[in-house]
């Protein structure tokens, strides 16, 4: 299939995969041209990213978080979508009602998949009526690797060069988030 803006594979990146910097950087670089998919997020997701990064676990300053989110939106202006409020109310069957905005965004963006590491929050039976799948970041990156191994390796090499490191260093940073993907890439 030739991907165009009218038939592109679209994924919603949940906040939990946008918070850890190495994983976020890998996912965003994979979405840069040339890519096999487009991404979507909302203000709600970005606010969750903000709260996560400013938490004691990550300890980013408000200024650092503002810069990161501003750069993400500048690099992917088409990713930011506004979800009509009524759409959220129509989402049923999720274990946590606070996650309805993610499924509503996926519907609004005509996304195919939600990429999240909180898989239990998006049971398949709740997504079935919306024709959505859910994948962990590791599963999603493995799929991208199988679709175009050299392209993904090139993107990892550019990611490493951006911080004056080697691909192996990036794989070490990704190991806890995407172990299967790292194993595949380490073989090459």
State yes or no: pLDDT of 4 exceeds 60: no
Asked if pLDDT for residue 16 goes beyond 90, the answer is yes
Confidence check: pLDDT of 21 > 50:
yes
pLDDT tens-digit map of 101-158: 999 999 999 999 999 999 999 999 999 999 999 999 999 999 999 999 999 999 999 9
Would you call 10 helix, strand, or coil by DSSP? strand
* Cβ contacts of 116-120, under 8 Å, gap ≥ 24: 116/14, 116/16, 116/17, 117/14, 117/16, 117/17, 117/177, 118/14, 118/16, 120/95
CA pair distance 103, 89, nearest whole angstrom: 11
Domains of the chain: 10-140 (3.40.50.1010)
pLDDT at residue 2, as a whole number: 44
3-state secondary structure 14-44: CHHHHCCHHHHHHHHHHHCCCCCCEEEEEHH
d(CA 145, CA 185): 8
Is 44's pLDDT higher than 80? yes
Count the residues in the chain: 188
> Model pTM?
0.94
């Amino acid at each position: 299939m030739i991907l165009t803006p009218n038939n592109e594979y679209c994924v919603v990146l949940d906040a939990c995969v946008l918070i850890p910097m190495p994983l976020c950087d890998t996912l965003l670089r994979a979405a840069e041209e040339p890519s096999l998919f487009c991404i979507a997020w909302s203000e709600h997701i970005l606010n969750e990213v903000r709260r996560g990064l400013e938490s004691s676990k990550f300890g980013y300053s408000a200024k650092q978080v503002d810069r990161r989110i501003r750069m993400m939106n500048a690099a992917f202006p088409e990713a930011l979508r506004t979800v009509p409020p009524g759409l959220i109310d129509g989402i049923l069957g999720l274990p946590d009602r606070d996650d309805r905005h993610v499924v509503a965004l996926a519907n609004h963006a005509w996304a195919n998949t939600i990429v999240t590491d909180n898989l239990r929050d998006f049971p398949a039976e709740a997504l079935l009526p919306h024709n959505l799948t859910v994948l962990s970041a590791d599963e999603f990156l493995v799929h991208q690797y199988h679709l175009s191994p050299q392209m993904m390796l090139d993107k990892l090499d550019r990611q490493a060069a951006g911080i004056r490191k080697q691909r192996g260093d990036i794989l070490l940073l990704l190991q806890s988030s995407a172990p299967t993907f790292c194993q595949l890439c380490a073989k090459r």
